[in-house]
Amino acid sequence: MLSRNFRLQRVGNLEWLQRNYNFAHIAFFIDELTVLDVTRGERNPDAFCDALKALTAGCFVPISAGGGVRSVAQASQLLRSGADKIVVNSPLFDRPGLVRELAQEFGQQCVVGSVDMKRDRAGGYRIITESGTRLVEQEPAGALYWLNEQWVGELYLNSIDRDGTGQGYDLALLDQLPADCSVPVIMAGGVGNGAHLAVGFADSRVDAVATAHLFNFVGDGLQRAREALVNQGARLAVWPALSELAVALNESMATA
């Protein structure tokens, strides 16, 4: 699903994704994958977990999953379906007790806090939850108190305004965080090309850069962006190309 300013665009099912966006290939250029159930209305957790298993079967990096997580049992089901970490959003603001429970049950490093922000009329920022339908009253720095509570291992920070636009990150979101935030930040919302990823990476407050824009899954843009970042000195993990692996595997088959 591609989101554009929080209006969802239906793009197709899993097969469509694999056929048209060559996800099996792209999966080898990312450090981590996040899969969110953005279904409006009644969700089907079993169907989502089946889709998650299928999607992640060829993806050999850490996987975060979420969207509508409302219980420890649901989180457990995701962890059995290929997820290494659970993503929570609305519960951070309306059921923090659940977030604490998830951290206690699975470990703080297993919980990713996802926060969507948008600019308000006055030019400040507000947090928005429940699939973009609910504004959190409190100003962000206060509402994000839980960043210091050891419940969340990472923060996924997304700009609603930039999401799907391809215009680049809104780095001003970082100014809304509490001053002493020690939780690693994954920046999201707005990446249209590799240069946007580099700009995000260059900000010392950003620990990881994310893109959900499927356009970035086409061709070799993501691969080239990764290579450019490494050449610019970014300390990204390095691994051999899939083609090298295939050669090595075929060799070991021949001698088996």
Residues with catalytic annotation? 116
Query: Is 79 a residue that touches another protein (CB under 8 A)?
Result: yes
**Cβ atoms within 10 A of the Cβ of 40, count?**
9
CB of 136 within 8 A of CB of 142?
no
- Residues 110-169 within binding reach of another protein (CB under 8 A): 153
Query: Is 54 a residue that touches another protein (CB under 8 A)?
Result: yes
Distance of closest approach, residue 209 Cβ to another protein, in angstroms = 14
Query: Is 252 a residue that touches another protein (CB under 8 A)?
Result: yes
Query: Is 202 a residue that touches another protein (CB under 8 A)?
Result: no
What one-letter code names the amino acid at 58?
G
Query: Is 19 a residue that touches another protein (CB under 8 A)?
Result: no
- Single out the residue of 28, 151, 201, 217 in contact with another protein (rule: CB under 8 A): 28
Distance of closest approach, residue 213 Cβ to another protein, in angstroms = 22
Distance of closest approach, residue 237 Cβ to another protein, in angstroms = 3
- Residues 160-179 within binding reach of another protein (CB under 8 A): none
Query: Is 109 a residue that touches another protein (CB under 8 A)?
Result: yes
- Single out the residue of 11, 24, 172, 218 in contact with another protein (rule: CB under 8 A): 24
Q: Which is nearer to another protein, 60 or 145 (CB)?
A: 60
- Stretch in the footprint of another protein (CB under 8 A) among 114-122, 163-171, 187-195, 243-251: 243-251
User: According to the 3-state scheme, what is the secondary structure of the chain?
Assistant: CEEECCEEECCCCHHHHHHHHCHHHHHHHCCCEEEECCCCCCCCHHHHHHHHHHHHCCCCCCEEEECCCCCHHHHHHHHHCCCCEEEECCHHHHCHHHHHHHHHHHCHHHEEEEEEEEECCCCCEEEEECCCCEECCCCHHHHCHHHHCCCCCEEEEEECCCCCCCCCCCHHHHHHCCCCCCCCEEEECCCCCHHHHHHHHHCCCCCEECCCCHHHHCCCHHHHHHHHHHHCCCCCCCCCCHHHHHHHHHHHHHHC
Which residue from 112, 109, 248 is spatially nearest to 188, judged by alpha carbons? 112
Distance of closest approach, residue 57 Cβ to another protein, in angstroms = 5
- Single out the residue of 31, 46, 94, 139 in contact with another protein (rule: CB under 8 A): 31
Question: Cα torsion for 229, 196, 154, 148, to the nearest 10°?
Answer: 120
Query: Is 238 a residue that touches another protein (CB under 8 A)?
Result: yes
Distance of closest approach, residue 172 Cβ to another protein, in angstroms = 27
Q: Which is nearer to another protein, 179 or 253 (CB)?
A: 253
Chain positions contacting another protein, by CB under 8 A: 18, 24, 28, 31, 53-54, 56-63, 79-82, 84, 107, 109, 153, 182, 237-242, 244-246, 248-250, 252-253, 256
